[in-house]
């Protein structure tokens, strides 16, 4: 089926036609969708002159028209190869944004954990959803968050009660199928970790084809006191797709939020984690790894918002850029007045393999307190000639030596992921990346 061609100014009206058809199952979601639709109508989409968007172009997003994914009739192939074995009975699957009961199983989770499809739980007036939904994605004036609200339908909801440590990692698998039409999905995830609880989440986005689609996920995480959430996100969308993601996490006293984001797919991706400290004495980590090639563009905008004293935060964001790929990093450490005794570290390291590749990096410190230890930095480098020479002297070929150096550069982030099969998956992805015909045009003298 041929794609329908529309100009940029027709993009919004076409999409809003679908919005009205979603109402009726839950007043909570109805109200949120209507509010989101109203915000979308009154909020402009980003333009190149906007400071936060000046390094990338959204022409790829605007030039096509999109249909709602749920209206597509697709044949879903066997997707079992994407299941991680540790989560065989702790998995929620969404196909083109719709919950798939057939592929999901949560039998392995302990009693007390509430997990399921957000739309179903909201239709049953679950009070936890009413209390927590749309409370943590605090991206003011952001049209994409409003857009997700406007089309909110299915999504993942996880609640871990007090004093419960969930040993089994929970997999949230988002599958995007191949299709002739260009479509969009707006997945949603809400995680609430009550006091002294612990859980590991593996959020994965997989594209089965090489088609174009627009994936707009929003994740909300609330950590009550002394809770611990490990959140790994793997983005393997189609190399023709557009992936614009928002993650908002609120962290209370003695809680610990660990986030690891691995970006491999999409032609254009934008990831915006925003971590907010709500009380004293918290910890959080916002690490990332980007492996891009060809004409891929990856953009990461992060905010670590320190609002109270005594916080340790850490961000190591690594990028490997090959071909004509373009990496953007804009990370902000924000320390508010009276937020003393903050120990925060941020670093963006880029390994540029090609003369045609491009890196824009902008680490930022905004500090309004005086008793803090905050450091940030950015590097853009190439493979070192001396290192290649040394490895060749140990018996490796030049190609093997270069592959090993790229592998070693990227491995640091992956090593912190504690789910064995996920770590192995990412090591295999890294091997696959280094085994490509990489340009290796840049060798530092």
Domain region containing 60: 10-279
- Give the 3-state secondary structure of residue 361: strand
Determine what percent of the chain falls in helix, strand and coil, rounding each to the nearest 5: 25, 40, 40
The pLDDT value recorded for residue 17 is 66
pLDDT at 3 over 70: no
What is the Cα–Cα distance from 410 to 415, expressed in whole angstroms? 10
pLDDT at 235 over 50: yes
User: Strand 372-381 to strand 443-444: parallel, antiparallel, or no bridges (unpaired)?
Assistant: unpaired
The pLDDT value recorded for residue 413 is 85
Q: Which of 302, 255, 258 is nearest to 277 (CA)?
A: 255
Q: Supply 372's token pair.
A: 């803090």
Question: Is 319 within a domain?
Answer: no
The pLDDT value recorded for residue 22 is 63
What is the Cα–Cα distance from 272 to 329, expressed in whole angstroms? 10
Listed range (47-56, 102-111, 370-379) with the worst mean pLDDT? 47-56
Tell me what the mean pLDDT of segment 306-334 comes to: 96
The pLDDT value recorded for residue 7 is 40
Question: Is 290 within a domain?
Answer: no
CA distances from 63 to 150, 239, 435 (A): 21, 17, 34
Question: Is 375 within a domain?
Answer: no
Split into its structural domains, the chain has a count of 1
Question: Is 444 within a domain?
Answer: no
User: Strand 170-176 to strand 156-160: parallel, antiparallel, or no bridges (unpaired)?
Assistant: unpaired
What is the Cα–Cα distance from 332 to 328, expressed in whole angstroms? 13
The pLDDT value recorded for residue 286 is 96
**Greater confidence, 304 or 51?**
304
The pLDDT value recorded for residue 302 is 97
pLDDT at 5 over 60: no
- Give the other-Cβ count within 10 Å of 7's Cβ: 9
pLDDT in tens, 12-57: 665 666 666 666 678 899 999 989 988 998 998 898 889 889 999 9
pLDDT at 88 over 50: yes
Question: Is 441 within a domain?
Answer: no
Question: Is 354 within a domain?
Answer: no
What is the Cα–Cα distance from 216 to 1, expressed in whole angstroms? 24
What is the Cα–Cα distance from 297 to 168, expressed in whole angstroms? 34
Question: Is 273 within a domain?
Answer: yes
Question: Is 183 within a domain?
Answer: yes
Q: What angle do CA 218, 362, 299 make, to 5 degrees?
A: 35
pLDDT band per the 50, 70, 90 thresholds, residue 153: confident
Determine the length of the chain: 445
**pTM for this one?**
0.93
């Amino acid at each position: 089926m041929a794609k329908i061609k529309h100009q940029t100014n027709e993009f919004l009206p076409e999409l809003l036609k679908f919005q009205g058809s979603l109402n009726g199952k839950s007043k909570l979601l109805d109200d949120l969708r209507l509010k989101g639709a109203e915000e979308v109508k009154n909020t402009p989409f980003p333009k190149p002159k906007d400071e936060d968007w000046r390094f990338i172009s959204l022409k790829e997003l605007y030039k096509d028209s999109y249909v709602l994914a749920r209206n597509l009739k697709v044949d879903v192939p066997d997707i079992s190869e994407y299941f991680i074995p540790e989560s065989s009975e702790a998995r929620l699957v969404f196909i083109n944004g719709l919950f798939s009961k057939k592929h999901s199983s949560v039998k392995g989770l302990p009693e007390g954990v509430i997990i399921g499809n957000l739309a179903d739980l909201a239709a049953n007036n679950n009070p936890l959803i009413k209390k927590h939904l749309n409370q943590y994605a605090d991206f003011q004036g952001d049209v994409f968050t409003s857009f997700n609200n406007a089309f909110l339908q299915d999504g993942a909801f996880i609640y871990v009660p007090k004093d419960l440590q969930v040993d089994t990692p929970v997999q949230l698998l988002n599958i995007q199928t191949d299709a002739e039409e260009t479509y969009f999905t707006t997945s949603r995830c809400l995680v609430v970790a009550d006091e002294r609880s612990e859980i590991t989440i593996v959020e994965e986005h997989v594209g089965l084809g090489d088609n174009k689609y627009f994936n707009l996920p929003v994740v909300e995480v609330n950590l009550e006191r002394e809770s611990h959430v490990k959140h790994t996100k793997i983005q393997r969308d189609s190399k023709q797709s557009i992936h614009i993601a928002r993650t908002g996490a609120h962290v209370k006293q003695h809680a610990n939020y660990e986030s690891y984001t691995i970006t491999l797919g999409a032609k254009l991706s934008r990831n915006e984690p925003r971590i907010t400290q709500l009380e004293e004495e918290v910890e959080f980590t916002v690490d990332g790894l980007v492996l891009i090639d060809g004409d891929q563009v990856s953009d990461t905008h992060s905010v670590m918002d320190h609002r109270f004293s005594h916080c340790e935060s850490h961000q190591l964001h690594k990028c490997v850029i090959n071909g004509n790929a373009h990496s953007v990093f804009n990370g902000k450490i924000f320390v508010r007045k009276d937020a003393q005794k903050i120990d925060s570290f941020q670093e963006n390291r880029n390994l540029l393999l090609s003369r045609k590749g491009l890196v824009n990096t902008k680490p930022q410190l905004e500090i309004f307190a005086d008793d803090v230890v905050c450091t940030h930095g950015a590097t853009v480098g190439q493979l070192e000639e001396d290192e290649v020479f040394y490895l060749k002297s140990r018996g490796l070929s030049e190609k093997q030596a270069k592959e090993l150096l790229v592998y070693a550069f990227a491995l640091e982030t992956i090593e912190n992921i504690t789910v064995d099969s996920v770590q192995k998956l990412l090591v295999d992805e890294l091997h696959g990346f280094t085994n490509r015909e990489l340009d290796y045009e840049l060798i530092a003298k």
